[in-house]
Each structure stands twice: as structure tokens, then as C-alpha cells.
Structure 1
Amino acid sequence: MTQVSPGERCALRSIEVHEQLAGTAGHVDRGYLAVEDAGPWGRAGISESGLGETGASLESLAKAAGVKVLVMRATHREGRGHPVRRRVLAAVHGRRRRLVGFSVGEPAELLGLNLAAYAGDLCDIHPEAVEIDHPLLLVCTHAKRDQCCAIEGGPLARSLARAHPGQVFECSHLGGHRFAPTALSLPSGAVYGRLDLESATRALKLAADGMVEPRSLRGISALPPVAQAADVALRVRLGLRALDAVDVEEITVGEDHTAVRLRTADGETWVARVVPSASAPRPASCGRAAEPSTSHRVVALTPP
């Protein structure tokens, strides 16, 4: 693969035009499923991985269940190989946060997973599923999807994994590669962007206490993007890090803005006025032409 020039790097151009992070995480209804695969990964991720047709079938089944599927792998090549059994992670985010792990032998076994467990007891997803009592961080290094993810994400994932063995993996496309390095914290579903070693380490350590790092937060993926923007704005305003410190109570779409009603754990109510805001053109991916973008901008944050 021919490496793009700095001027064609989407992550660098996004920074240059001051594109905002908040409100840019993809909305995932119930949670995540990550399956170990050494790679290489094609542009489409799990459907173009070593799982073959099983990957595409699993992705379709999971999407119907409101679950986002990723492929993951160890950060160092010597830790990858092609294991006899593949590790699998399943996480429910939102208020019912839970993370379990298990392994499968043949890829076809993945098609028998009980995806209804995402709406019930997640341990029922597989007979061998066991609780994982510490957070994990999945860093996007999906080079075939975008070069910035490999250039920025790869070194970060390796450095983090050395300092936090067993807690950091590489993963396929999380969306928004122009914010690379991007990462997903499980089980919270918090999606981060423009990380460096310091901010990523802080995010991982805070996750152990059920907290997030608001200033690197693209959004909590259980929320739709407009609510993500409001949630992050209130967290930054009040210095709130606990995942359960903010609850989105109501989203009201108006003609020229969206009102997001939020309540803090202390019982305070706030209303965020969110408007669509055009930003300067930037490429959505490395090597592509610059194009305009629209963000969810919080223009007012007040008590009702």
C-alpha cells in the first residue's frame, strides 16, 4: 500500500479545520461483539476477514439484534498467529453495562450465539461466557479502511498494551477515522478520538472506576449523536466524569434546533440547544477530496 502524503491525511486535515469531536460516535443500540482474527482485514472488516462467509452472516444477524460486530487481535504480531480457539468479547453498554468473554473453535459456532442475551442476561450468549471484571480498550488500526488508523492507531495500541497487558487490543473500523487514533472502551461503549498515550492511559484508568475522559470523548455510543454532543458539553461544563453522572431524559426536535433535556446524578436538570453547524471542508478518508461536514453544535446549555 502506498502511503498517502501528510496533505492527504484525513486526521491531520480534520485538526486543521478544527472539526469537533463531540457527537461523532456511531450510535449502537445494544452493544458490541468482538471476534479474534489475526488478519489481514479487508476494507469491509469482519465480512472480509479470516472468518470468511461466517463473518458476513454474523454481521447481518448482529445488526438485526442492534449489536455492532468488530474483529480484534493482539497488538504484537507474535501474539496473533491463528489460534485453535478464537477469543470473543460481548458487551452491553448503557445503564446495563456488562462485559463477558469466551472462545469458539470453528467460526460457524458464532452463528449459534444467543444474541437475544443482549436484552437479558449476557452470560447466556454462550455456555462458556464468563464475566470480565476490568475494562478493555480497543484501538482502531484498520489500515485497509483508512491509513490514519494504522499510522496513528498502531503505535498507540502497542505502547498501551505494553503498559496494560491483557487490556488493549487492535480492532477494525470504529467509524470516524479522521479522528484517529480512535478507540472504544468496553463495556461502557465510550468512543474516543485524537488520543495520545497520556489521554488514552487516562481513559483506560478512569474506565476502571466507571468514569470517562470528557475532553477526548467523541460520544457514548448508546446515545444518538445529537445527545452525545449534549452529554459531552454538560460533562465538560460541570467536570462530570462518572458514566452515570448524566442521564438523557428527552430529545425534542424543532425546526431550527434540537432540545436535549439532561439530568445529573445530583438531580439538576439542564437543557442543551443543539444546532446543525457547517464546518470547513475536510476529507472523510485519506486521499479523498475535501468535502463539507455538519456537526451537532451545542449553542446553549441552561437550566430549564
Structure 2
Amino acid sequence: MFFCSDHSREIQEDIIGSANYYQAYILIECPQPWAYNALESKWVPENLQLLAQEIKYNRLPIKLLLISDNESHRREEKSLLIYQREHEFANHYRKHEFKLKKIEEVALIIRKWLWLGDTSDEITSEVTRDILVCTHGSHDKCCSRYGNPFFYAASALISDLKLQHIKIWKSSHFGGHRFAPTAIDLSDGRYYGRLDIEAFREILLRVGSVELFQRVYRGWSILPPPLQVLERELILSHGWDWFDYKIMGRISEQNQNNSLMLGEISFETTDGYHYLHQAQITCDESKTVTVKGSCNASKESLILKYSLASSGSESLVIPKYVRLGHPEVLKTAS
């Protein structure tokens, strides 16, 4: 029997650059089971299905996901979580949380937020970090085979560590099932794959060596996929401090077939200094693979992979303000 996740591991596919770019995530608590297309599940009301179609038709950079935990089928109130990116220069998405008596109320709350910017019904929650693990087995069997056991092990770890500000959810499909078990860490919006419990523990606590990002990091949904390659290198360079920096990225130049581009990531450190990192990013034929993207795929697809070019990478410091004696200020002034 073919399992896409097993095959991806066997060919040692690099998983970086596989995070999807979104401006917002809408997470709707809905009991399982879920249909292959989650929003066609029996518990999803028609008004919510119509809203999802409108979002898709208008090509809005918004991802709707169903979420659940072990109590969702018993709990009377259901959670609606909206994570939105508010600023270009940021390190996370802003969270809005709502508690609703009926799932039929979800579409109205989303419309008020989407068209009017109205979040007046939101509540205050002690949970500041929501982690989504794809367990959508009806969409791809690898997400059930690897996602479900990981969800239960990760839930136990969070409980053992008494991390009450972190909530873990089962999630419907968000891509990358060939990297199962795969997860999204919100509010920052970073994607992970091929997770094991030890790597998950280090990500939760931000301890240990960041070298683990070489094997489990899929990328950051605030950045387009090619720039995710550059961002991983900056994580390896700056360590866990990187997660406290405010960041913005763009592709400033590219050739006609997108095989070579100039990427820029600017960031502000916690002491208020701005840096700009530029690098050439190239389509890497040695890493590009032809694979079945899912367990049920009828044919293989070409998956382009990117790497940093061997030359043309540099960092420039741009002080936001001058503070006497700062080593980078002295460097730029010399």
C-alpha cells in the first residue's frame, strides 16, 4: 500500500517552502467526522458553505479550516477563531476568539469581521497559542495514520508541561499531507512537518538547537514560498531570538521563468534596529522532485524546490535610531 508521507521521507524531500501564504485563518470548531471536502461535512450549515464559496470566488487570501478536540461533540458552545495579519512588519497574526451557541451563527460573525471589521463579539481568552495538527484522514490517509497518534502524544506533552496558554486542535486539511504529521503553530503562522515529540517539545519551549529546522520546518505563511528558504537560513543564523523579531519580506527581482530571483527580508530586532538581508534564490534542480502529492493521487506532479545561490547574500544594518556604542552603529559609521 502506498503512503505519500513514507515515500517523501524515503526520497529525502526537503520540506521547506511548502507553507501556504495567507492573510488570515478562520478556524471553526466542528465535530468529526469530516467529509473529503471538510466544508461539505454534515455539520456545516449551508450559510457557511456559501460564505466559503464567496471567499474562494473572490480569491481572498483566507484559509477556512474545521477544528475539533476530544470534547467538541459534547460541548454546547463552539469556538470560532480568526487569526489575521494586520501589519506588513510583524511576527504573528492577531487573534480574535468567539464563543457561539450554534454553528449556524458562524457565518454572520465572519461576515461582520470580513466586510465591516467588526469584532465586538469577541471574548478574552487565556489561550494565546493554538496549534493545529492535521488529522483529516478522509482527505488523505497519512493524516490519519500519522496525524492522530501525534495529536494524542502532543496533547499529553502540553498537559504534562502545564502549558495552559497553549491549545492543540485536530484540523482539517491544510496541505502537505506527504509531510505528516504536520502542524501549524498560531499565532505566528509557522508550518512544521515530519514532527516527532522531542522536536515538538523544543518548538513549544523554544529550547535546544535550531538545527531541527533543517528537517521539520515547512515555512512561514507570512512569506511567499521562495522566501521561506531564506527565512530558514536566518533562523539557523539568529537562533530562537528570531521569533521575537518583526519581519517583512519580498521578491524584489526575478527572471522570466522564476528560476532566479532576488529575495529581501527586513527585520527589526528587540533593541529597535532594522536590518535588511538580501539573497539570490534559485530553482534547485537537485532538490526538485516528481512525486504523488497525496496517497490517492492518480499521477505524479513536479514539485519545484528553491535554494540560496552560492553567492550574492549579504546583510545590511539600518539603524532605526542611533545609540552611542552600539557595535553595528560603529560598524556602519566607520
Q: Same fold (TM over 0.5)?
A: yes
Counterpart selection for 1:66 from 61, 68, 89: 61
Mapped to 1, the partners of 2:10 and 2:116 lie a distance apart of 45
Show the counterpart of 2:247: 247
CA contact (8 A) 2:81 2:97 kept: yes
**Gap regions ≥5 residues in structure 1:** none
CA contact (8 A) 2:127 2:167 kept: no
Report the CA distance between 1:168 and its aligned residue: 0.9
Among the aligned pairs, what percent are the same residue? 22
Show the counterpart of 2:332: none
Report the CA distance between 1:185 and its aligned residue: 0.9
RMSD: 2.9
Moved over 4 A (4+): 61-65, 114-121
CA deviations 1:26-58 (Å, max 9, x no partner) are 1112x2111111111111112335113233223
Show the counterpart of 1:45: 38
Show the counterpart of 2:290: 281
2:314 equivalent to 1:303: yes
CA contact (8 A) 1:136 1:204 kept: no
Deviating more after overlay: 249-258 vs 34-43: 249-258
CA contact (8 A) 1:28 1:67 kept: yes
Mapped to 2, the partners of 1:205 and 1:82 lie a distance apart of 31
Counterpart selection for 2:151 from 138, 157, 168: 157
Report the CA distance between 1:294 and its aligned residue: 1.0
Higher Rg: 2
- Which amino acid in 1 is paired with 2:289? A
CA contact (8 A) 2:133 2:182 kept: yes
Mapped to 1, the partners of 2:212 and 2:189 lie a distance apart of 13
2:304 equivalent to 1:294: yes
Deviating more after overlay: 288-297 vs 238-247: 238-247
Number of residue equivalences: 289
Report the CA distance between 1:131 and its aligned residue: 4.4
Report the CA distance between 1:213 and its aligned residue: 7.0
Show the counterpart of 2:327: none
Mapped to 1, the partners of 2:11 and 2:80 lie a distance apart of 38
CA contact (8 A) 1:34 1:88 kept: yes
Counterpart selection for 1:148 from 122, 132, 142: 142
Show the counterpart of 2:107: 111
Within 5 Å, give how 1:194-209 maps onto structure 2: 194-206=194-206
Show the counterpart of 2:50: 57
Question: When the two structures are superposed, what TM-score results if normalisation uses the length of structure 1?
Answer: 0.83
Deviating more after overlay: 232-241 vs 221-230: 232-241
Residue aligned with 2:290, SS: strand
- Which amino acid in 2 is paired with 1:180? A
Question: When the two structures are superposed, what TM-score results if normalisation uses the length of structure 2?
Answer: 0.76
Instruction: Describe the shift of the 1:206–1:62 C-alpha distance in structure 2 as closer, same or farther (beyond 3 A).
Output: farther
Deviating more after overlay: 80-89 vs 32-41: 80-89
Show the counterpart of 1:186: 186
- Which amino acid in 1 is paired with 2:284? S
Mapped to 2, the partners of 1:259 and 1:115 lie a distance apart of 38
Instruction: Describe the shift of the 1:73–1:302 C-alpha distance in structure 2 as closer, same or farther (beyond 3 A).
Output: same
Instruction: Describe the shift of the 1:114–1:292 C-alpha distance in structure 2 as closer, same or farther (beyond 3 A).
Output: closer
Report the CA distance between 1:119 and its aligned residue: 9.7
CA contact (8 A) 1:203 1:212 kept: no
Instruction: Describe the shift of the 1:241–1:25 C-alpha distance in structure 2 as closer, same or farther (beyond 3 A).
Output: farther
Within 5 Å, give how 1:159-178 maps onto structure 2: 159-165=153-159, 167-178=167-178
Show the counterpart of 1:98: 94
Show the counterpart of 1:13: 7
Instruction: Describe the shift of the 1:128–1:224 C-alpha distance in structure 2 as closer, same or farther (beyond 3 A).
Output: same
- Which amino acid in 1 is paired with 2:26? L
Residue aligned with 1:253, SS: strand
Mapped to 1, the partners of 2:205 and 2:115 lie a distance apart of 28
CA contact (8 A) 2:72 2:78 kept: no
Report the CA distance between 1:104 and its aligned residue: 1.4
Instruction: Describe the shift of the 1:49–1:277 C-alpha distance in structure 2 as closer, same or farther (beyond 3 A).
Output: farther
Mapped to 2, the partners of 1:283 and 1:127 lie a distance apart of 44
CA contact (8 A) 1:137 1:185 kept: yes
2:29 equivalent to 1:36: yes
Residue aligned with 1:148, SS: helix
- Which amino acid in 2 is paired with 1:284? G
2:262 equivalent to 1:262: no
Report the CA distance between 1:189 and its aligned residue: 0.9
